[in-house]
């Protein structure tokens, strides 16, 4: 699949029209989330690094033109103006790992109008999905209250590429490992895994299965104990581990049932067998709500493995995001349609202590001791520096999450902060609105 033709058809038709009308002046588009999904007090900016990779190699080739022509049912010659089009613009964006709120631009693109238009769909797809998953994973980190988390999502994500993204994003917000071998290799994430119920079922008994697994893997092992009867499985695992003389890092995994009650009984059984160092790993349909309940109950669980609900951001799988034109050829523009009004002009987000944000114009000076969130990360179609590192993104996330107001980080009923609007942006919005409405009245003959 070409990254160029992985776009909505109307991006192609608009870009072609702009070229034919010689509308190539600089345009600024702002990508932002209108409203946070229910149950979210914040979002974690994510997806920027792969987006910059895509933009840096974006170029409309001959085969892309042929695919566009086929989709439109027109001669290839009609689409020829698009051939050779590449991205030569500037990108200002919030670095990955920063917390963001409704209305704040995650990214702004300034480029010749046809270029800026044609990259819209890919940018929305990349940033929205990854921001949604990173935000879900971040809430799990909050709920876990310091307990290690492992990503088990690959088998339930919407395709292998989404699984790779989920593993990377979970690591970005503080997960300790992933079951995804390819992601572990590509991103340097510790790989983690145990065994499936099918492995246990393939042997005549749980004990045979545990001993065979330990022979194949002489390092730390974790035994899945709930294939048949969990209490018996724990007792069997304890007997095998005692015989083996477990080293550090061995454990048992609970994957179903009342995880809190089972963990308490398992902990008592392991301690009674002199296996106080053996860890308890819990999995099975967990997300931040399940994790929060276990933590509040004081369940003796050492490691939490999450998959389906986090890798798919199950309760909020999409973001109400937009990529809107805010300036063309030096002229600020805005949309006035009901419930979808946009603010004109290139913007900046100024962040003060306690994550008190002000959305202003890009050329404003930061008020007081606030910092500007959007950084120039691409100029003339080229990165302005080396790729960001996962460690840097994680450090930004940890700093922001530590400053997050308690009500915004609530698992049950989060209340997101509301960014303020600068006086200059409010004034420009009023002027542009007045200009548009006056033009509309003139068009109506009034």
pLDDT in tens, 19-76: 999 999 999 999 999 999 999 999 999 999 999 999 999 999 999 999 999 999 999 9
- 444: confidence class by pLDDT, cuts 50, 70, 90: low
- % of residues, the chain, pLDDT over 90: 91
Average pLDDT for 412-436: 94
- Average pLDDT on 402-427 reads 96
361 has a pLDDT exceeding 70:
yes
In angstroms, what CA-CA distances link 161 with 5, 129, 158, 246?
18, 11, 8, 37
Beta bridge partner(s), residue 33:
321
pLDDT surpasses 70 at 378:
yes
Q: How far apart (Å, rounded) are the C-alpha atoms in residues 349 and 366?
A: 9
Asked if the model's pLDDT at residue 337 lies above 90, the reply is no
pLDDT digits (tens, 9 = 90+) for 251-271: 999 999 999 999 999 999 999
- Give the model's pLDDT for residue 257: 93
Q: What is the mean pLDDT of residues 295-311?
A: 96
Model pLDDT, residue 445: 56
pLDDT band at residue 218, thresholds of 50, 70 and 90? Answer: confident
Residues in the chain: 446
pLDDT at 171: 96
Residues 6+ apart with CB under 8 A from 333: 325, 326, 327, 344, 432
pLDDT band at residue 3, thresholds of 50, 70 and 90? confident
DSSP 334: -
- Which domains can be identified in the chain, with CATH numbers? 9-133+316-443 (3.20.140.10), 143-311 (3.20.20.70)
């Amino acid at each position: 699949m070409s990254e160029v033709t992985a776009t909505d058809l109307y991006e192609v038709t608009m870009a072609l029209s702009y070229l034919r009308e010689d509308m190539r002046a600089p345009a600024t588009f702002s990508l932002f989330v209108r409203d946070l999904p229910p149950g979210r007090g914040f979002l974690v900016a994510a997806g920027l690094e792969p987006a910059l990779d895509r933009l840096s190699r974006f170029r409309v080739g001959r085969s892309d033109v042929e695919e566009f022509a086929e989709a439109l049912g027109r001669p290839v010659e009609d689409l020829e103006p698009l051939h050779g089009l590449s991205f030569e613009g500037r990108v200002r964006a919030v670095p990955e790992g920063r917390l963001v709120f409704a209305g704040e631009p995650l990214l702004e693109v300034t480029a010749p109008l046809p270029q800026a238009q044609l990259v819209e769909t890919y940018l929305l797809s990349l940033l929205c999905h990854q921001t949604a998953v990173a935000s879900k994973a971040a809430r799990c980190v909050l709920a876990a209250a310091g307990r290690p988390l492992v990503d088990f999502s690959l088998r339930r994500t919407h395709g292998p590429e989404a699984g790779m993204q989920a593993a990377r994003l979970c690591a970005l917000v503080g997960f300790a490992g992933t079951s995804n071998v390819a992601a572990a290799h590509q991103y340097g994430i510790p790989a983690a895994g145990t065994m499936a119920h099918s492995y246990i079922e393939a042997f005549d008994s749980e004990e045979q299965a545990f001993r065979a697994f330990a022979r194949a893997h002489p390092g730390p092992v974790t035994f899945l104990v709930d294939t048949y009867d969990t209490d018996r499985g724990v007792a069997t695992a304890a007997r095998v581990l005692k015989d083996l003389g477990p080293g550090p890092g061995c454990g048992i995994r609970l994957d179903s049932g009342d995880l809190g009650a089972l963990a308490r009984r398992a902990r008592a059984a392991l301690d009674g067998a002199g296996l106080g160092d053996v860890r308890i790993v819990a999995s099975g349909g967990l997300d931040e709500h399940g994790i929060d309940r276990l933590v509040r109950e004081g369940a003796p669980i050492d490691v939490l493995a999450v998959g389906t609900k986090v890798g798919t951001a199950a309760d909020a799988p999409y973001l109400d995001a937009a990529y809107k034109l805010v300036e063309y050829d030096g002229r600020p523009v805005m949309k006035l349609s009901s419930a979808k009004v946009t603010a004109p002009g290139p913007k900046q987000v100024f962040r003060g202590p306690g994550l008190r944000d002000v959305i202003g114009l890009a050329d404003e000076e930061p008020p007081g001791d606030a910092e500007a969130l959007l950084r120039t990360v691409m100029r003339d179609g080229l990165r302005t520096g080396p790729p960001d590192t996962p460690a840097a993104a994680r450090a930004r996330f940890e700093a922001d999450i530590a400053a997050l107001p308690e009500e915004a980080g609530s698992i049950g009923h989060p209340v997101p902060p509301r960014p303020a609007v600068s006086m200059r942006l409010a004034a420009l919005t009023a002027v542009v609105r007045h200009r548009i409405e006056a033009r509309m009245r003139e068009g109506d003959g009034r």
